[in-house]
A and B are shown apart, each in its own frame.
Chain A
């Protein structure tokens, strides 16, 4: 630990990337236009489950502006009809035998312009034979359920995996002797990350050089490159993935989608660059959704509110192909962090993954690999317990929170929480919101009138995947490279593997180097999003950039600093051991005036200066950072809502969020990340939902139906912070990008249900739309994920 006790320099500096964005000069993938470029469009299935009897493309082929029509049959000839998913499953690129969800890719048209490509889709005649669809995950394993994945040898049902964590026997023993046991079915319904920029790509295959250049708004360019090499059989050094400016990701842009593969095939077939951009409905209907966890939580406690054990059973709806992206050993992601922030004797979870006739995905939307589901469950269960014990939910939490002296804390499900001071964060949030006053206001409300509620959520996340011994995706260990080069004039270029989708890496990573080397951030160029220009790494998701690549950046800068020390010793003609560092400068111990700045050293390192034996010239370094553990950010969130019992309308009055993400590199950017996640929480708690009807029709296929929170639904966020550095991260930082999305839904839901307490409502599933709230008041909340009457 060298710098954890002081903030990172240049703290709230404005973002370097903003200059281009505010002028409309960003380059998103749809802004990439190449000479001779053609346009692709995907024909999609109208059915959730149907046999393909025939596909007639003759009329489309005859369209004067169509250059190619590709079907599953075409791809079978190239052995590309199926591709691997990031979870060792397979996914159809274009359907051959049958379609398995509404919106599945069936054919791909390449035409001279995008309007013609769409026109030609209308000319393709597909004959389907509809099959019964599996839409209810809880019925997917029924003996009479149709088998969705009959393409897989030996697959006779819709079962994907069973997975568990914790000590089942010890947990059951605690439950058997518990004074109080509460159980609750909790649904975290299917939602979609819905970045405002949809997914897309421009594929450019050069038949002469054999090089494929793939502009694609992916969050994981290096992982994509390797997978393309494995899928398409192209040599990896002949694949360049460029992820330019990305208009939001939130996990939606981690997987490889069939449209990308089709664009590549289209470019190979036509010899021209091919652009494919999905439209909004395609994005919502076919790309990586999130959640869809059907959970049953149980809490064992004493009568006075000591929580002793937790038990959880989950049915996980993974859709038609297991296309989730998470570390291989963890098919339920990091859901097993579900004991949250509490000191319990024992815990156990079991998760069963199933196929349904819905879009594939599951791990997305700022979930930190399923920690959204875990945090929501535990925080809902705490309130259910408080309801049953008639205890104040703040008091119940404070009583059970882990104590600062328990860290590093080995959790009952196998984690080692790195650092935390939980009571301090909760206390700060309670003070900021004026908890006692709010409870007094609530108590003074006359019965039958307007309601108000106060909801608390305390979350702990495990982010920064991860130690390569335990964590890989498709066998690729989750360590990140970084390269730093200081030019002769003292200006630097940092090359990192992670890709920004708005997180401001060009600014914060320059700040890290500036802190370590004393080179001003404006003199540091951060290069990212281009596999030909950057070292290998697994990408930006799961709040892993700062914990892994941020650490790599600090480490590589320190390597350069050590090299600079050797050069400085030659310049000053003193032993390196006699040199001391102050930011930006090596000087002779005891004689501070005798020193050389990093800029002077950089020039000397490239000069004719004679260097000590074994010291190379120049001033650069590379590293690969393999994190020793995850980082464990946490926070205390309190939401205050007003509810109209006549209409069920919920208004978020206030939202206080206290976050502890360790040392903050740029507090302005951290706060911005938290703001965005809080809006996500309001959206998921109150509005956002991808539901299905009994035939498997997607009922959230446009922004007319999939409601995003606007400026009117969001309050002015009130933020607080505590700082508990990570003991193992080089600068004491922890991930934060997903904290608020993970922590906030439970606060909103708990607030609404707190408001409904006078009506005896203990639980109702998200989203708490006016209709759902009204039904809850009437004593009959519904399952929100299915529109089945």
Chain B
């Protein structure tokens, strides 16, 4: 099937198998390897991207479902050389170690802050509760998002 997907502002048209997962389309067809794959069952959330402005787990979305729609990935988070405050917060607060869950976590964090610029710790924890991190115990991810809320001005 031919699909056209806007990814991070660029239109991409491709012939894909109907069963192709969005995560594989992004990674293998477009070479956007910042989005990771981790579990197949929508549990871990390392594959989170935005689809028409809403975070989705791209391991359980078919690429064809993104036809005519807009996808935003971690590669589209910074505005050129300027990091998004969420990215800056993750660096400043040591919100990442191995970095594997980080892109998905940051996409969810950006989405949260766009809707709720001053979230409580509980609201942050709930927002990222569908995503796993094996390194940080979540503490510094929460602090990173709090930093972005406090200090940051969104570039998006």
In the complex, chain A residues 239-295 whose Cβ is within 8 Å of any chain B Cβ: 245-248, 250, 279-281
Q: Are A280 and B39 in contact, with the CB atoms below 8 A? A: yes
**Residue A424 CB within 8 A of the other chain:** no
Q: Does A115 contact B (CB under 8 A)?
A: yes
Contacts known (A675-B136, A676-B135, A716-B121); A196 close to B97, Cβ less than 8 A: no
**B39 near A502 (CB under 8 angstroms)?**
no
Task: Assess whether A26 is interfacial by the CB under 8 Å rule.
Answer: yes
Question: Once bound together, how far apart are the Cα atoms of A357 and B102, in whole Å?
Answer: 37
Asked whether any CB of chain A lies closer than 8 Å to the CB of B78, the reply is: yes
Residue of B20, B41, B92 ringed by the most chain A CB atoms within 10 A: B41
The answer to whether B65 has its CB under 8 Å from any CB of chain A is no
Other-chain contact of B129, A20, A28, A710 (Cβ < 8 Å): A710
Q: Is B51 an interface residue (CB 8 A)?
A: no
B90, B97, B140 — which one has the most chain A CB atoms within 10 A of its CB? B97
Q: Out of B40, B77, B129, name the residue touching A279 (CB < 8 Å).
A: B40
Residue in B31, B35, B90, B129 whose CB lies within 8 Å of A711:
B129
In the complex, A17 Cα to B100 Cα: how many Å? 13
**A25 located at the interface, meaning its Cβ lies under 8 Å from any Cβ of chain B in the complex:** yes
Q: Give the residue of B38, B126, B134 whose beta carbon is less than 8 angstroms from that of A676.
A: B134
- The listed residue (B100, B128, B139) touching A675 by CB distance below 8 A is B139
A68-76, A620-628, A701-709: which lies at the B interface?
A: A701-709
Q: Is the CB of A247 within 8 A of B129?
A: no
Residue of B nearest to A706 (CB): B43
B44 proximal to A (CB < 8 A): yes
Q: Which of A18, A27, A114, A708 contacts B132 (CB 8 A)?
A: A708
- Is B111 engaged at the interface, CB distance under 8 Å to the other chain? no
Residues of A within 8 A of B132 (CB): 196, 703, 708, 710
Contact present for A18 and B38 (CB under 8 Å): no
Instruction: Flag if A248 contacts B134 (CB, 8 Å).
Output: yes
Q: Counting chain B CB atoms within 10 Å of each CB, which of A247, A674, A679, A680 scores highest? A: A247
Q: Which of B76-134 contact A (CB under 8 A)?
A: 77-78, 83, 87, 90-92, 94, 96-103, 106, 121, 124-126, 128-134
Q: Indicate whether A504 sits within 8 Å of B97 (C-beta atoms), given known contacts A24-B33, A710-B129.
A: yes
CA distance in complex: A454, B94 (Å): 30
B46 close to chain A: CB less than 8 A: yes
Cβ-defined contact, A196 with B94, below 8 A: no
Q: How far is the CA of A20 from the CA of B74 in the complex (A)?
A: 11
User: Mostly helix, strand, loop or mixed at chain A's interface?
Assistant: loop
Main secondary structure of the interface of B (DSSP, over half): loop
Assess A714 versus B139: contact at CB under 8 Å? Given A197-B100, A247-B98, A248-B98: yes
Known A-B contacts A18-B91, A703-B43, A712-B126; A502 and B140 likewise in contact (beta carbons under 8 Å): no
Cβ of A198 < 8 Å from any Cβ of B?
yes
| A712 and B129 in contact, given A26-B99, A196-B36, A676-B97 (Cβ under 8 angstroms) | yes
Do A24 and B103 have beta carbons less than 8 Å apart? Answer: yes
B135 contacts A22, CB within 8 Å? no
A199 to chain B, nearest CB (A): 12
Min CB distance, B125 to chain A, in Å?
4
Q: Are the C-beta atoms of A250 and B134 separated by less than 8 Å?
A: yes
The answer to whether the Cβ of A23 comes within 8 Å of any Cβ in the partner chain is yes
Given contacts A24-B74, A246-B98, A672-B97, contact A198 B38 (CB under 8 A): yes
Chain A residues near B124 (CB-CB < 8 A): 711
B74 and A280 contact, CB distance less than 8 A? no
Per-residue contact bits, chain A 1-43, to B (CB 8 Å; 1 contact, 0 not): 0000000000000110111111111111011010000000000
Contact of B96 among A21, A25, A708 (CB under 8 A): A21
CB contacts under 8 Å to B, within A675-690, are: 675-680
Q: Which residues of B contact A680 (CB under 8 A)?
A: 134
- Assembled-state Cα–Cα distance A677/B97 (Å): 12
Pairs A–B under 8 Å by Cβ, sample size 13? A23-B74, A25-B34, A114-B24, A196-B100, A247-B99, A279-B40, A280-B40, A675-B136, A675-B137, A676-B133, A676-B134, A679-B138, A703-B44
A: residues with CB less than 8 A from B are 14-15, 17-28, 30-31, 33, 114-115, 193-198, 245-248, 250, 279-281, 501-504, 668-669, 671-680, 702-704, 708, 710-712, 714, 716-717
Q: Measuring CB to CB, which residues of chain B are less than 8 angstroms from any residue of chain A?
A: 17, 19-20, 24, 27-28, 31-41, 43-44, 46, 73-75, 77-78, 83, 87, 90-92, 94, 96-103, 106, 121, 124-126, 128-142
A-B CB proximity, top 3 nearest: A24-B34, A502-B98, A247-B100
